[in-house]
Homo-oligomer: A and B are copies of this chain.
Amino acid sequence: MVSPLKVGIAGLGTVGASVLRLIQQERAALETRCGRRIDVVAFSAKEIRDARLDVSKLRRVADPVALAGDAEIEVFVELMGGAGDPAKAAVTAALAVGKSVVTANKALLAGDGLALAALAEKNSVALNFEAAVAGAIPIVRTLREGLAGSSFSRVYGILNGTCNYILTRMEQEKLSFADCLKDAQRLGYAEADPSFDIDGHDTAQKLSILASLAFGTKVNQDAVYVEGISSIAREDLEAADELGYRVKLLGVAVRTDTGIEQRVHPTMVPKESSIAQVMGVTNAVALDTVGFPPLTLVGPGAGGAATASAVVGDIADIARGLRTPPFGRPSAKLATSGRAPMQRHEGGYYIRLLAVDQPGTFATIAGSLAKEKISLESIVQKHRGARPHGGDDPKSPDAPAPVILITYATTEDAVRRALKSIEKQGVIAARPQVIRIEKN
Taking Cβ atoms with an 8 Å cutoff, the residues of A that contact B are 22-23, 26, 29-30, 32-35, 130, 136-138, 141-142, 145-151, 216, 274, 277, 282, 289, 291-300, 303, 305-306, 308-310, 312-313, 315-317, 320-322, 324-325, 328-330, 333
Chain A at the B interface: mostly helix, strand, loop or mixed?
Answer: mixed
A261–B204 CA distance with the chains assembled, in angstroms = 43
Q: How distant is the Cα of A293 from the Cα of B86 in the complex, in angstroms?
A: 32
Among A23, A30, A317, chain B packs the most CB atoms within 10 A around the CB of A317
Give Cα A282–Cα B273 distance, bound, in whole angstroms.
13
Given known pairs A293-B282, A309-B292, the reply for A26 and B145 (CB within 8 Å) is: no
- Check A316–B145 contact: CB distance below 8 A: yes
Inter-chain contacts of A308 with B (CB < 8 A):
149
Residues of B within 8 A of A137 (CB): 295
Residues of B within 8 A of A146 (CB): 130, 138, 141, 310, 313
Q: Which of A22, A274, A295, A305 counts the most B-chain CB atoms under 10 A from its CB?
A: A295
Q: A146: nearest residue on chain B (CB-CB)? A: B138
Which B residues lie within 8 Å of A324 (CB)?
Answer: 33, 320, 322
Q: Report Cα–Cα, A310/B147, bound state, in Å.
A: 7
Nearest opposing residue in chain B for A301, CB measure: B293
For the complex, what is the distance from the CA of A34 to the CA of B29, rounded to whole Å? 29
B293–A306 CB distance below 8 A: yes
Query: Nearest Cβ in chain B — how far from A371, in angstroms?
Result: 41
Least CB distance from A309 to B in Å reads 5
